[in-house]
Structure 1
Amino acid sequence: MNDILKTSPNFTLEAAVDLLKEHYGLAGKVSPLASERDQNFKVESAEGTFILKIVNAAEPAVESDFQTALLAHLATHAGDLPVPHIRPTLSGESLVSITNTHGAAHRIRLVSWVKGEPLAKTDRSEAALESLGRMLGRFDAALKGFMHPGALRDLDWDIRTAARSAGRLSHVANAEDRALVERFLKRFTTVASRLPTLRAAVIHNDANDWNVLVDDADHDRICGLIDFGDALHTPVIAEVAIAAAYAGLNHADPIGATAAIIRGFHAEYPLLEEEVDLLFDLISMRLITSVTISASRRVNAEDNPYLTISERPAWTLLRKLDRMNPRFATAILRKACGFEAVPGARAVIDWIETNRKSLAPLLEKPAATYPAALVPFADPVHPMTIASAAERPDEAQAIWEAYCRETGVELGIGPFAEERTVYAGEMFVSRFIEGARRTHHLGFDLFQAAGTRVFTPLAATVVSVEVERDPLGYGCLIALRHEPEGCPPFISLWGHLAHEAVNRLKAGDRLEAGALVGEMGAPKENGGWAPHLHLQISTDTTLSATEILGVGEPRYLDVWAELFPDARTFAGITKEFYKRQGRSHEEIVKMRRELLLPNLSISYDKPIKFVRGEGVWLIDDSGRAYLDCFNNVCHIGHAHPAVVEAMARQAATLNTNTRYLHDNIVAYAERLTATLPKELTVAGFVNSGSEANSLALRMMRAHTGRENAITLDWSYHGTTQELIDISPYKFRRKGGKGPKPHVYIAAVPDSYRAPSDWPIEEHGKRFAESVAEQIAAMKAKGEGPGFFIAESIASVAGQVFLPEGYLKEVYRMVREAGGVCIADEVQVGFGRVGSHWWAFETQGVVPDIVTMGKPIGDGHPLAAVVTTREVTDSFNNGMEYFNTFGGNPVSCAVGLAVLDVIEGQDLRGNALAVGNYLMDAFRDMQKRYQAIGDVRGLGLFIGIELVTDRKSKAPATEFARAVSNGARCRGVLMGTEGPHDNVLKMRPPMIFSRRDADHLIAVLEETFAGVEKTLG
């Protein structure tokens, strides 16, 4: 104690006045300022306001020199920083030596007074704390490269020496407080070993709220930084930790306060992720240092309030920090700097979005295919609120079933980030923000009946299987770890499951994609909830199942959204589910009637409004996804990225007509004709299948000089009048006027409906006789055929596959009679049959003209005619052929992209393999359903003909329509064709997979069973 008295400065006011006059030539009002080791006086003079510091005699001279050098450096390199500036003595010195009454040598320094009010006297707004961070960042940035021997000192307030607190632990009287300190010290052993690897520099090291000044007129702006007595060389991140430790005292949201400081600091002095990751522990250890030093000094300095002024709030803050999960606190701080909440979080989110098409269905069918609705938890009167289910757990299942019957809903969805006032228990009190609650749902809920099985969309390893038995708990809770290639590992959490999984799964088990995880539990075993799955993703794989937050504070939703990203994509729910856009169905129907041609038809009794297509799926405005097995226009899938990219790139470069030279049109013609027999070498480009067939007729007339047509019954070739005239599907139905004199109709070569006494090997020849009859009828008039036109597989007529040898015989007869043969490949071409590029090739023939459209551009308006050189020469009769848009650079770029995808991904091979798989399944169904009279198909062009009696083959039109509508209700699109609309028509995209096929098969099985039960 005597040594302390000898070294501590204890000068009177009068002595301070004399020192000022003697060394600085100043006079004015002098008043004492509080200080722990040194003695400070405020000096108000005519020349300005200053602080006179009398340094403790025990302080080595090198330390006083260090502070002087630091201030001089700042004055030179950052003169605009609001920090004290040294006032030299009359002799020009920065420091002066004096002696006290005990003979101890002191040094004095005079610095300018920094105007402002201590931050401690304000409410420490978030803006002020961010401003503080900026000030400290600027300060430390200005000291880069500065070094002085005095900065390399040993100091208990150095964050690196925080472990010394263990030696002061005995002075902490309360056993619980000692245990708390020990917990933080134990964590610090790991942190301490990482400190030497961090960036170090000279820092202020004591930015407490008494050393930080705010503008008198604007408390949100930091205007000064004072007191450099603790400055030293140490890890840079300690600057933020110390400021945050003091800012958190008596603050309702200490981590939020820290986030504001670090956000400002990072803007001026960019931090590294490894520095931010240690911040929570460094804040804690600054507080531990403070409370243990205070405890050890209390006995010797009970009359010095400076030592104990912050001890009580420091303990309070330490207890708050002890209750927090450091991982979550660190995530908040990382996010404040613009880093990911946890490394790899955004990569996980991006990977799931990019690979969503390859994820296995979470439910028996893809979740997006169910009629779904939000379960409005926020609506207190809705029968499916959490509250009602919790209050009446025994009735929850019945409540759900009644709701589904009333609304037609099959799947309920509880969204991510929804505010739920039901979270009222003590467990939902925030551990970060005083007085706040966790109210926002961080999982994703799927509601179906108890017992509904759920499957993992990705291969996984079981991390844990446990049961929470608390009311409103998770019931059976399963955590899975996923490690897909090209993606950081992540956890999926499955809650409210039935307890059966406990005996079936254990930690370490391997689950393949599509494997069973569990079943939705009944209220009695799922925590008292209506049956549902709580699904959640955690990008932090270090968290245990029970540590993963199911509910979070709204203030930190941006953080939670990276730690626990919305699992809707993982579950298979589309983005369109959440927000309908555009006009209502009723409004569109009304406007169509008013503005569009009235005979423009709409599919289904209840029209569908589609807003997006993706691959094999069409998504309606409610977010429901339909498996598209019908619209063969999008040949390689809806919105194929290769097509979209090619279209956009060329459209952004050039689009013009064919009167100018361009590479694309000749490149595409070369590629397209290469897929055809060698005789077919010349291409012409148009915009639709109808245009292609019209151009083919012009070529035919120029080559033959004839008009007479032979067409198949119930065929369809386009929308123009001349094509309607050769389409019995149109002119023999309502509004049609029958065949024109030049049109001759041959029988549909339908082997299924051939006379029973015809040998199968003679079907082709026998059906060809109908064409021979038409040629004979023409000859009887002294005329001959101009052309024969037929789809290579009769689609509108009911997916009719031509019997073997049919086209070979027909083409021979037509050509012998002077006509040309046109193959309409608009619906069946481009590899759809799998075995060949073109369906006519299955007949072993080469047409004179081939027309193509629909799939050629994957939805882009593009079509083509390819013919022989002989027909081309006849067409080149002096009349120009020009098509404004046909063959433009954009269309040809699209066509090339489609060919690239078909060839590059072997989609013909896929069509054949998946088509065969479907045919096998449908033929197996045929054994069980008497209504299936015939199954026919090749590749991905398939028809199922339905009959009331297999012997009579009477068409089952009502049954077929019921199946088509039933499949539509179950989320699968198909059509009915044929003269009696009794043939189910399926033409899915060429990318159709085995999994898609399994979905189609399952829906048809369910639909057939339902229709058979209803109709008998």
Structure 2
Amino acid sequence: MTILNNPRPAFSDAEAHQHLRTHFGIEGKLTSLPSERDQNFLVQTADGRELTFKIMNAAEPLSAIEFQTSLLHHLQRCDPALDVPRILPTVDGQDFATIASASGQHAVRLVSYLPGRPLAEEVKTPEILRGLGRLLGQLDRALASFGHPGAHRSFDWEIRTTPMARDRLHAVTDPEQRRLVETALDIYDARVVPALKNLRCGVIHNDANDWNVLVADGRVNGLIDFGDAVHSPIVAELAVACTYAMLDEVNPISVAARIVAGYHAEYPLQDAEFAVILDLVMARLAISVTMSAARRVGAADDPYLFVSERPAWDLLRKLSVIDHRIATGILRQACGLEAAPGARRIREWLSANRRNLAPLMNPHPSRQAKHVLNLGSLDEPLAAASAVQDNAGADDAYAELVRKHNFSLGLGPWGERRVIYTAPFFESVLAEGKRRNVHLGLDIFAPAGTEMFTPLAATVVAATINPDPQDYGGLLLLEHEPEPGLRFWTLWGHLDHASVRERRVGERLDAGSFVARLGDYAENGGWVPHVHLQLITVPYDDVSVIPGVGEEAFVTVWEDLYPRPYDFAGLIPEAFVRTGRTREELVEKRRRRLGRNVSMSYSTPLKMVRGEGVWLFDDSGRAYLDCYNNVAHLGHCHPNVVRAIASQAAVLNTNTRYLHDAIIDYTERLATTLPKELDTFFVVCTGSEANDLALRMSRAYTRRHDVLVLDWAYHGHTQALIDISPYKYKRKGGGGRPSFTHELPIPEVYRAPIAGTPEDIARHHAGEAGRIISSLVSEGHAPAAFIAETIPSVAGQIFLPPGYLKELYSHVRRAGGIVIADEVQVGFGRVGSSMWAFEEHGVIPDIVTMGKPIGNGHPLAVVAVRREIADSFANGMEYFNTFGGNPVSCAAGLAVLDTLEQEDLLTNASDQGAYLLEGMRRLQERYPAIGDVRGRGLFLGIEMVRDRATKEHAGDTASRISNRAKELGALMGTDGPHDNVIKLRPSMIFKREHADLLLQILDQAMGDTLP
């Protein structure tokens, strides 16, 4: 039943007073209260009570009156503290009475009066708005258990009657206003109608307008007039309240957000309800303004009917240009939810998979030198020129930045507050008088024509050209769904027109596929050539309405709707924000705080801030392929090791004086990889500690002091080890060879003193070593031990010829000495074909020392020794190492062993090592300065010479190549007596693409360096 044209009751004060006395036995002063449809009076009795006397519209059916009565009784029973009117009975104990007038029968009711002023007469403070939401949430929660036949009625103000507003459109004579209403109705039909089946329904108040909400002492004090209560979608309660509260507000969405937040705190909303709030507000406005237009004739003398008409049109106009996705995001986030459902999952997936995405451009942006541009201040020439579209000035400013900072990619970060957006379309529609200035994408500045590729498989959703100044120029929208249900979009702006026209809507692009090229000034909206890359977590049908710039007040909302695309582009946060000291400050601080002989790599030191797999990242976010740091055996920060360390550290970390399982678990597992003779273990912290302990044990066992070493060997930094390391004692600062240290010539195949096969060279050197040992024995200097790296590293990546170690071990043992295999650098499968490098030589050492890769960067080392040698070391003096063998270190070591097996990394080392060796031999054919290439698994060397025929050493050539490779993005070292060997020790997870990149960089570095 409709009561659109039924007049409001018009009883005089005297008549109302008479009916109040007759039916309720109440005397008091009556004051008229505003109402659209009923007639209301404030009753003030002589004893100070205040009551509300309501004379209802004659068109109000009895069922509706009974329904309202039952509703109020239900609320009193369900939530007595709720700030709503309470029914006072008639003199004969009824809930209401009836009276007659010329227009029909009217129900009359007396209820408690709630003190306060209407919200319409108060300032809408944030606390009042949240309080309104809380009160409505409490109310609807209480009404959730209420039902009544009278609630199911045909009612013009029930939100589901919105389509009926089309029947009143004829009364809207202004074309622009009619367009606004039609837009609101079209939105209702397109978005609300399909959603209705998913919306909770129940009895709601349905009219929380500013005159029905009471405020006292700065807080919401009550809700009155349940005449519009109806069974309806519950979220309509909020839409009605927000509609009235938003009128005449500069920032209406923020007003609504406070009401919604209060409501959600009391009666949580569902996703489907959040999604239609703005649409329902517009629907309510459409109902209101068409009602007003239809009533205009004959009702102009009733100001209540039209008091909100002008503000309603203004609000409808504002809301019609607000993106409902953004409005919904603001409302959701005000409630403590994600602005877009699933946004966090998308961010987390991209973060976890960043390293597995295809490169956005070539070279990968993470590998290129980058500089963050400043477009947030007109004091910066680039920003000033861009703001006025001065292309020549912007070009010059950008070129000057490149010269000054030496970068290949400029970066415009997400979230930057910019001054360059001067076009009219950057004015805010969310907050009157504000401008959009927060950048919602990532800008990557590169030359026009630079090709871009999709990091993930994609479907083309839109391909268009926006030619206006300061707009996008060529524009693409791609959809990605890397996992079922994980869907997001990327917007690519400022592209050249031809490549955009190559794309077709619906086209499927594989990961790594070409997307488009960067446009120049004439095609990209008048900007310095770059791509605007934006991540989007909500669907758009119209790419032109996706904002690339947002308001500062809603940054946290933008983080959900349009998250930082850094992971998608393969960039780390450090590319945009530098923390800690600058490189220059660190160099100076090291000089002041650290010993002067604590060295740094490279002529221009690097500051590293992050390690991931085969990559190290410097403080500018540039990635370097790490081909040198063999400590990170499984790659930097391998998740298996990280988890093992964190898990054990959270439970227990102590020393070996207490019993714990970890040290036994680890050493028993390690024992399975070694010859059975090496059955006793000492767990220490570093390779130097391991070698020092091995030296002590050999001297204790043999009761001798002399030691045999290979020339140019290095075994550690303790004084005892310096004394047996020619690499140290023969160089600057060294004290020369101690009398108890005896050097054996390096059995080097490349520079062998005799002609012949490797086996011939092995026999020659082993024979020479045998004569030296015999001489030492006859002179009373029989060796306690012979110690050698199985592949001498600092000597220049020297691979001992087959048969040498077996014969030499025999000479040493016949002399009563023991043999120590230093596998600190070459153990744990680095050679690929076996777990330990000594296995390739068919020998079993008496002691094996391990370090560096053993814990993937965690300080851990081990001595594996025959039991009788360990027993001889137990001479009464305790051996204790405070941190050696602690549970955390053992957990790290066990994770390394597990990962080597689980990921089959020995096979990988063999495969990639062979591939690299083959590639380096091809380089040798191209560059005469390469004298020799050698390697086993992922332990490789390139020896540089001045003359290949004479094998003359090449001075600083290796160092210059290494430094140039660093500039190109790969880290490597140099070694050898003449520092002429390029040393390569990539991590065991090196893949084919990394090997290809290394070979490419070596080729370019040599091409740039060699004459």
- Counterparts of 2:186 and 2:5, CA distance in 1: 37
- Counterparts of 1:721 and 1:334, CA distance in 2: 66
- Aligned AA for 2:20? L
Quote how far apart the aligned CAs of 1:6 are.
Answer: 9.7
- Relative to structure 2, which stretch is displaced further, 380-389 or 729-738? 380-389
Closer/same/farther in 2, CA of residues 884 and 532 from structure 1, 3 Å limit: same
Q: Which residue of 2 aligns with 1:96?
A: 97
Q: Deviation per CA, 1:261-312, whole angstroms, max 9, x where unpaired?
A: 1111101111111111122221111111112222222224233232222223
Closer/same/farther in 2, CA of residues 401 and 994 from structure 1, 3 Å limit: farther
Matches within 5 A, 1:801-880: 801-880=799-878
Q: Which residue of 2 aligns with 1:10?
A: 10
Q: Which residue of 2 aligns with 1:286?
A: 284
Quote how far apart the aligned CAs of 1:952 are.
Answer: 1.6
- Counterparts of 2:353 and 2:390, CA distance in 1: 40
Q: Which residue of 2 aligns with 1:535?
A: 533
Closer/same/farther in 2, CA of residues 955 and 665 from structure 1, 3 Å limit: same
- Relative to structure 2, which stretch is displaced further, 375-384 or 879-888? 879-888
**SS of the residue 2:88 aligns to:** coil
- Counterparts of 1:340 and 1:801, CA distance in 2: 59
- Counterparts of 2:198 and 2:480, CA distance in 1: 32
Q: Which residue of 2 aligns with 1:904?
A: 902
Quote how far apart the aligned CAs of 1:317 are.
Answer: 1.9
Closer/same/farther in 2, CA of residues 487 and 810 from structure 1, 3 Å limit: farther
CA contact (8 A) 1:273 1:339 kept: no
CA contact (8 A) 2:453 2:515 kept: yes
CA contact (8 A) 2:905 2:989 kept: yes
Quote how far apart the aligned CAs of 1:876 are.
Answer: 4.3
CA contact (8 A) 2:500 2:516 kept: no
- Counterparts of 1:56 and 1:232, CA distance in 2: 16
- Counterparts of 1:422 and 1:400, CA distance in 2: 15
Q: Which residue of 2 aligns with 1:422?
A: 420
- Relative to structure 2, which stretch is displaced further, 858-867 or 322-331? 322-331
**SS of the residue 1:109 aligns to:** strand
- Counterparts of 1:429 and 1:603, CA distance in 2: 52
Quote how far apart the aligned CAs of 1:587 are.
Answer: 4.0
CA contact (8 A) 2:465 2:497 kept: yes
Matches within 5 A, 1:39-188: 39-47=39-47, 48-100=49-101, 102=102, 104-188=104-188
Percent identical pairs in the alignment equals: 52
- Aligned AA for 2:738? K
Quote how far apart the aligned CAs of 1:931 are.
Answer: 2.1
Task: Pick the aligned partner of 1:274 from 268, 272, 275.
Answer: 272
Closer/same/farther in 2, CA of residues 255 and 1010 from structure 1, 3 Å limit: same
Q: Deviation per CA, 1:944-963, whole angstroms, max 9, x where unpaired?
A: 11112211222223221111
CA contact (8 A) 1:332 1:556 kept: yes
**SS of the residue 2:925 aligns to:** helix
**SS of the residue 2:545 aligns to:** coil
- Counterparts of 1:951 and 1:377, CA distance in 2: 58
TM-score by length of 1: 0.95
Task: Pick the aligned partner of 1:966 from 964, 967, 972.
Answer: 964
When the two chains are superposed, the root-mean-square deviation of aligned CA atoms in Å is 2.3
- Relative to structure 2, which stretch is displaced further, 767-776 or 233-242? 767-776
- Aligned AA for 2:720? E
Q: Which residue of 1 aligns with 2:993?
A: 995
CA contact (8 A) 2:456 2:512 kept: yes
Q: Which runs of 5+ in 2 are unaligned?
A: none
CA contact (8 A) 1:933 1:947 kept: yes
- Counterparts of 1:525 and 1:82, CA distance in 2: 62
Quote how far apart the aligned CAs of 1:562 are.
Answer: 1.0
Task: Pick the aligned partner of 1:771 from 763, 769, 783.
Answer: 769
**SS of the residue 1:379 aligns to:** coil
Closer/same/farther in 2, CA of residues 8 and 380 from structure 1, 3 Å limit: closer
**SS of the residue 1:948 aligns to:** strand
**SS of the residue 2:63 aligns to:** helix
- Relative to structure 2, which stretch is displaced further, 391-400 or 317-326? 391-400
- Counterparts of 1:4 and 1:557, CA distance in 2: 45
Q: Which residue of 1 aligns with 2:38?
A: 38
Q: Which residue of 1 aligns with 2:215?
A: 214
- Counterparts of 1:353 and 1:879, CA distance in 2: 52
Task: Pick the aligned partner of 2:496 from 498, 506, 513.
Answer: 498
Matches within 5 A, 1:368-379: 368-379=366-377
**SS of the residue 2:532 aligns to:** strand
Q: Which residue of 1 aligns with 2:260?
A: 262
- Counterparts of 1:467 and 1:196, CA distance in 2: 39
Closer/same/farther in 2, CA of residues 527 and 43 from structure 1, 3 Å limit: same
Q: Which residue of 2 aligns with 1:247?
A: 245
**SS of the residue 2:543 aligns to:** coil
- Counterparts of 2:730 and 2:664, CA distance in 1: 41
How many correspondences in the alignment? 1007
CA contact (8 A) 2:663 2:887 kept: yes
Q: Deviation per CA, 1:591-626, whole angstroms, max 9, x where unpaired?
A: 433443332222233322323333222233333333
Q: Which residue of 1 aligns with 2:222?
A: 224
Closer/same/farther in 2, CA of residues 1004 and 5 from structure 1, 3 Å limit: closer
CA contact (8 A) 1:751 1:803 kept: yes
- Counterparts of 1:499 and 1:103, CA distance in 2: 71
CA contact (8 A) 2:633 2:853 kept: yes
- Aligned AA for 1:16? A
Say if 2:727 is the partner of 1:726. no
- Counterparts of 1:55 and 1:610, CA distance in 2: 78
Q: Which residue of 2 aligns with 1:976?
A: 974
**SS of the residue 1:966 aligns to:** helix
Q: Which residue of 2 aligns with 1:195?
A: 196
Matches within 5 A, 1:219-618: 221-385=219-383, 387-388=385-386, 391-394=389-392, 396-485=394-483, 488-502=486-500, 504-618=502-616
- Aligned AA for 1:145? S
- Counterparts of 1:464 and 1:91, CA distance in 2: 72
CA contact (8 A) 2:476 2:492 kept: yes
- Relative to structure 2, which stretch is displaced further, 285-294 or 602-611? 602-611
Q: Deviation per CA, 1:749-793, whole angstroms, max 9, x where unpaired?
A: 221112463334422222323312321321341443322211111
**SS of the residue 1:484 aligns to:** strand
Closer/same/farther in 2, CA of residues 508 and 1003 from structure 1, 3 Å limit: farther
Quote how far apart the aligned CAs of 1:414 are.
Answer: 0.7
- Counterparts of 1:473 and 1:7, CA distance in 2: 55
Closer/same/farther in 2, CA of residues 934 and 451 from structure 1, 3 Å limit: farther
- Counterparts of 1:908 and 1:541, CA distance in 2: 46
Q: Deviation per CA, 1:367-391, whole angstroms, max 9, x where unpaired?
A: 2333322100012132322634853
- Counterparts of 1:697 and 1:616, CA distance in 2: 34
CA contact (8 A) 2:206 2:230 kept: yes
Closer/same/farther in 2, CA of residues 433 and 978 from structure 1, 3 Å limit: same
Closer/same/farther in 2, CA of residues 990 and 702 from structure 1, 3 Å limit: same
Q: Which runs of 5+ in 1 are unaligned?
A: none
- Counterparts of 2:894 and 2:703, CA distance in 1: 35
**SS of the residue 2:87 aligns to:** coil
Quote how far apart the aligned CAs of 1:855 are.
Answer: 0.8
CA contact (8 A) 2:683 2:860 kept: yes
Quote how far apart the aligned CAs of 1:544 are.
Answer: 4.1
TM-score by length of 2: 0.95
**SS of the residue 2:578 aligns to:** coil
Closer/same/farther in 2, CA of residues 761 and 521 from structure 1, 3 Å limit: farther
Quote how far apart the aligned CAs of 1:394 are.
Answer: 4.0
- Aligned AA for 2:994? D
- Counterparts of 1:805 and 1:546, CA distance in 2: 74
Q: Which residue of 2 aligns with 1:683?
A: 681
Say if 2:663 is the partner of 1:665. yes
- Counterparts of 1:896 and 1:443, CA distance in 2: 43
Quote how far apart the aligned CAs of 1:143 are.
Answer: 1.9
Closer/same/farther in 2, CA of residues 773 and 362 from structure 1, 3 Å limit: farther
Quote how far apart the aligned CAs of 1:883 are.
Answer: 2.6
Quote how far apart the aligned CAs of 1:647 are.
Answer: 2.0
- Counterparts of 2:315 and 2:481, CA distance in 1: 38
- Counterparts of 1:778 and 1:291, CA distance in 2: 110
- Relative to structure 2, which stretch is displaced further, 577-586 or 963-972? 577-586
Q: Deviation per CA, 1:915-949, whole angstroms, max 9, x where unpaired?
A: 22222222222222222222211221111111122
